Structure 1
Amino acid sequence: TLFDGYRIKTFIHGMNLRDFLEEVMAYRFIITFNGKCFDLPFLERSLGVRLPQVHLDLRYVMKSLGFSGGLKACERAIGIDRGPLRGVDGYTAVLLWRKYRDGCPEALETLLAYNVADTVNLERLMVFAYNEKVRRLPLSRPLLPEPRKRILIPYRVHEEILDEVFFERLRMLSRKGEVW
């Protein structure tokens, strides 16, 4: 998913991922969370290119501010609530993708909602991180205003699909003896 502060564009492996390259080349700067280790290597491998943009990985910025854990932990720490996507993580995303590949279009729509939430929340995380860094400077500098808008996610979260995926995840863990 690409988000420039105004527009959301989603890309799906096997459908329109190749369109991502043309879109992303319009930007000189990319902000991700853990993109250095995951997103960018995956995209560069899949597309057979090296992305030339300056890249800021908020994972390391947040760590330098004393925040640990993944994106969702950082979001919670600064007051971002994911609503019906609360509890959905990267592993759940993999299960949603599998469910979609097995013929469930609602799983893809839910996965897209999750990916869009990941992406649009980076704006708030970036503003927070920037302002925290500025506050720690020995001289006064202006802070960035909070993002003024609430972004509407253009995909529906199918909570019944999430329930099925969470149940399947629990069953898999119980078979391994990791729960109960």
Structure 2
Amino acid sequence: MLCHTFCHIPGIGLKTEQKLWEAGITTWDEWRDPSPVRLSAIIRTDAARIIAKSQVALTGDPAFFTGNLASTEPWRIFSHFREKTVYLDIETTGLDDGAEVTAIALYDGREIFTYVNGINLEDFVDDILRYQVIVTYNGKSFDIPFLERYFRIRLDHAQIDLRHVLARLGFKGGLKGCEKQLGMHRGTLDGVDGYFAVLLWNRYCTHNDSQALETLVAYNVEDTVNLERLMVEAYNRNISATPFSENLLLPYPEPPANPYQADYDCVARIKRSLGSWHS
């Protein structure tokens, strides 16, 4: 899809891009000046320059594209840079500046990697450098700035924040809300959310409860691996609205087995302690 994209060129929006496709300009190689679609001289000059840079960026600079695309459009880079993509989710002790990262999960479509505070959390800093694209849900607003502040690092990866991509497709209500709207179910972890994850961490810290920690990491992994299905769903739904759907649709991935098991009794015990908890 990336080579069919023109909306990363200043002055060319989705409607103009559609007009270019209809006029036979469906790839960068077919660009010509004068354009069959009426464009200003400045836009035509910018187009030639951006297309030349795009050809170079295809070889390994996904951030060039996400830096020029609207927040709803980074899905376009996915298939081209999929092998360098990682799905990421974090758990924390809260939302304020003094909060700590408790767990991080990464999934690259092949392997799951987990990082836990007090065990191996610092390994994340080196491991994330293996990738060029990070896929999150609300990561641009929360996960990525939180990690940058916490570790005092800069994550210059291209980002696909599915919150914005899915919202444009009509799917809202948070990560779990989008999952349910798309027919995804969590079993034992149904009803567990970010606040509950804080309670699991607190129980682990105060009672040395290994089941609470395992449940927390299982929840973190579930959040992360589900991003792949949501990414492919978003990609295919967007592709279906283009003239290129016949050749570019992706097969839906099989979710990997979660190496961690949520403990039902642990979840039920914490819910009972809250009294008013509604799953």
TM, length-normalised to structure 2? 0.59
In the alignment, the residues of structure 1 paired with residue 184 and residue 235 of structure 2 have an alpha-carbon distance, to the nearest angstrom, of: 16
SS at match of 1:11: strand
Q: Match for 1:86 among 190, 198, 223?
A: 190
CA displacement 1:34-75 (0-9 Å, x = unmatched): 111221122111211011110111011111111111101101
Query: What code does the residue aligned with 2:249 have?
Result: L
Say whether 1:131 aligns with 2:236.
yes
Residues 120-160 of structure 1: CA distance to partner in whole angstroms, max 9, x if unpaired? 000000000001111122x133211111x331101111111
CA distance in 2 between counterparts of 1:95 and 1:126 reads 29
How far apart are 1:13 and its partner, in Å?
1.9
Specify whether residues 109 and 68 from structure 1 end up closer, same or farther in structure 2 by C-alpha distance, changes over 3 A only: same
Aligned residue among 166, 171, 176 for 2:271: 166
Question: Match of 1:145?
Answer: 251
Where in structure 1 do 4 or more consecutive aligned residues deviate above 6 Å?
none
How many angstroms does 1:89 deviate by? 0.7
Secondary structure of the 1:111 match is: helix
SS at match of 1:25: helix
Residue range with higher mean Cα deviation, 13-22 or 103-112: 13-22
Q: Give structure 1 stretches of 5+ with no counterpart.
A: 174-178
Of 216, 222, 227, 1:117 maps to 222
Higher Cα radius of gyration: 2
Q: Quick one: which of 17, 42, 45 aligns to 2:121?
A: 17
- Is the partner of 2:122 in helix, strand or coil? helix
- Unaligned 5+ segments in structure 2 are 1-104
SS in 2 for 1:108: helix
Please give the TM-score of this superposition, normalised by the length of structure 1.
0.90
- 8 Å contact kept, 2:225–2:255: no
From 72, 76, 89, the counterpart of 2:180? 76
Q: Distance in 2 between matches of 1:70 and 1:104?
A: 29
Query: How far 1:84 moved relative to its partner?
Result: 0.8
Higher RCO (Cα < 8 Å, 6 or more apart): 1
Q: Which residue of 2 aligns with 1:157?
A: 262
Deviation at 1:93, TM superposition (A): 0.6
Cα distance in structure 2, aligned partners of 1:167 and 1:43: 32
Identity %: 47
Q: Which amino acid aligns with 1:114?
A: Y
* Superimposed CA distance per residue, residues 106-132 of structure 1 (whole angstroms, 9 cap, x where no aligned partner): 101000000000000000000000011
1:176 corresponds to: none
Residue 16 of structure 1 aligns with an amino acid whose one-letter code is N
